């Protein structure tokens, strides 16, 4: 059974356009934020770290996912129809296969990059890793949830007659 490219084409177009637009927008936001001086130093540093993560994540997606999808889109458009026996088509096929490997690698490495660059994810992974190795005396809930306990009562725990 052969894939009907006409049904898949809008998805390919939207995918390629969204990745390119996302990369352009994140680059613009990052460079505007870099030149801004209206914030305190600590708030600016925190914002730049978050935006740097956003920019690098988008850049990673741009370079790992987009080439394969673009090459697949070119093939789906029928650019090579009738030229499949040409020697350069085999090169195109090998390049497409290489970028499929890059796509697979990128999808696998993306969570690792997130864990390494974002402390909240890193802390959770370390807590889970410690729990798996049984190196901590904390119970499961304390180990995973290191957040400060709330001093306000939850709305669900207040009787209906006592609500304002």
Does the model's pTM come out above 0.85?
no
* 25-44 per-position pLDDT tens digit: 888 888 888 787 777 878 87
DSSP state string for the chain: ----HHHHHHHHHHHHHHHHHHHHHHHHHHHHHHH---S-HHHHHHHHHHHHHHHHHHHHHHHHHHHHHHHHHHHHTTTTTT-TTSHHHHHHHHHHHHHHHHHHHHHHHHHHHHHHH-HHHHHHHHHHHHHHHT---S-HHHHH--SPPPSSPPGGGS-GGG--
- Give residue-wise pLDDT tens across range 57-70: 888 888 888 898 88
Q: What pLDDT does residue 10 have? A: 83
Q: For position 143, what pLDDT does the model report?
A: 46
């Amino acid at each position: 059974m052969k894939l009907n490219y006409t049904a898949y084409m809008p998805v390919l177009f939207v995918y390629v356009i969204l990745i390119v637009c996302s990369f352009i927008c994140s680059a613009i936001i990052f460079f505007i934020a870099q030149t801004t001086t209206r914030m305190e130093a600590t708030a600016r540093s925190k914002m730049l770290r978050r935006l740097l993560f956003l920019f690098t994540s988008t850049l990673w997606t741009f370079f790992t996912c987009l080439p394969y999808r673009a090459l697949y889109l070119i093939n789906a458009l029928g650019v090579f129809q009738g030229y499949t026996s040409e020697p350069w088509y085999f090169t195109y096929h090998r390049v497409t296969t290489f970028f499929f490997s890059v796509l697979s690698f990128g999808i696998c490495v993306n969570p690792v990059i997130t864990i390494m660059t974002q402390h909240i994810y890193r802390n959770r992974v370390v807590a889970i890793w410690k729990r798996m190795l049984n190196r901590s005396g904390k119970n499961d809930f304390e180990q995973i949830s290191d957040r400060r306990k709330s001093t306000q009562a939850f709305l669900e725990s207040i009787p209906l007659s006592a609500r304002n």
